[in-house]
Structure 1
């Protein structure tokens, strides 16, 4: 699969607004391994005051938080979905976010782009950030 250039994306003003309106972030692919970017980013976001919700196929707890197997299983409102999964899985995650109907923002990490899925998210009323790191962007703004 070729790398896509993100044609659907939020600008810095919108990214600032996203952070200001976000309290709860589901981290899709949050690894228990402290060496992995998903774990480091989740830890940073937690320390920055966000409630993080790890979504991972194994483990019961990551960074002291209960782990869920999927977005569908999370029984409370999620403001942002932060995706650390390959581009071919992003579409499934976004479909799941659309099904929930309570998610404001879908964010794909550095190197991750799926414009087709991003367009669907925008059409469903969500903000979309692609190919950017939540930690880097938050750190630059605050």
Structure 2
């Protein structure tokens, strides 16, 4: 069966109920998409946990960065992925190990093996969508 992203209503529910978002591939460089998207999500009230082995132990967006999802010392609700598609199956396996509820692959990132892993483990999967864009659509700022 072909993969289908959740409906906008389901995405809204996911985003309304998410706690900690571990961002795999979050860069410490302010001009990178991962940094800009994560900063915007943080500004909207989401808790961002950086995951990047090159920046482990450093602070990114005021939060301690970890080398892997397994190193994060608190529950992870969502894994937001800013890595190339070929790395996503391994990330999905690690997300299973930390009991994440949702895996979100950013715009342009698709991996059917990762989707199958998520489905088999009852984890919600979103692929090829920008979390910042989707969040703005389903939870617009009210004046």
Q: TM-score, normalised by structure 2?
A: 0.91
Secondary structure of the 2:49 match is strand
1:26 to partner: Cα distance: 0.2
Report how many aligned residue pairs link the two structures.
Answer: 136
Which aligned runs of 4 or more in structure 1 are off by greater than 4 angstroms? none
Query: What is the root-mean-square deviation in Å for CA atoms of aligned residues?
Result: 1.1
Encode CA deviations 1:108-134: one digit per residue, 9 max, x unaligned. 000000012111101101101000000
Secondary structure of the 1:34 match is coil
1:141 to partner: Cα distance: 1.4
Partners in 1 of 2:30 and 2:4 — Cα distance? 31
Partner in structure 2 of residue 125 of structure 1: 122
Partner in structure 2 of residue 3 of structure 1: none
Q: Does 1:24 align with 2:20?
A: yes
Partner in structure 2 of residue 61 of structure 1: 59
Secondary structure of the 2:54 match is coil
Asked which structure has the greater RCO (Cα within 8 Å, sep 6+), the reply is 1
Q: Does 1:43 align with 2:51?
A: no
Segments of structure 1 that go 5 or more residues without pairing to the other structure are 1-5
Segments of structure 2 that go 5 or more residues without pairing to the other structure are none
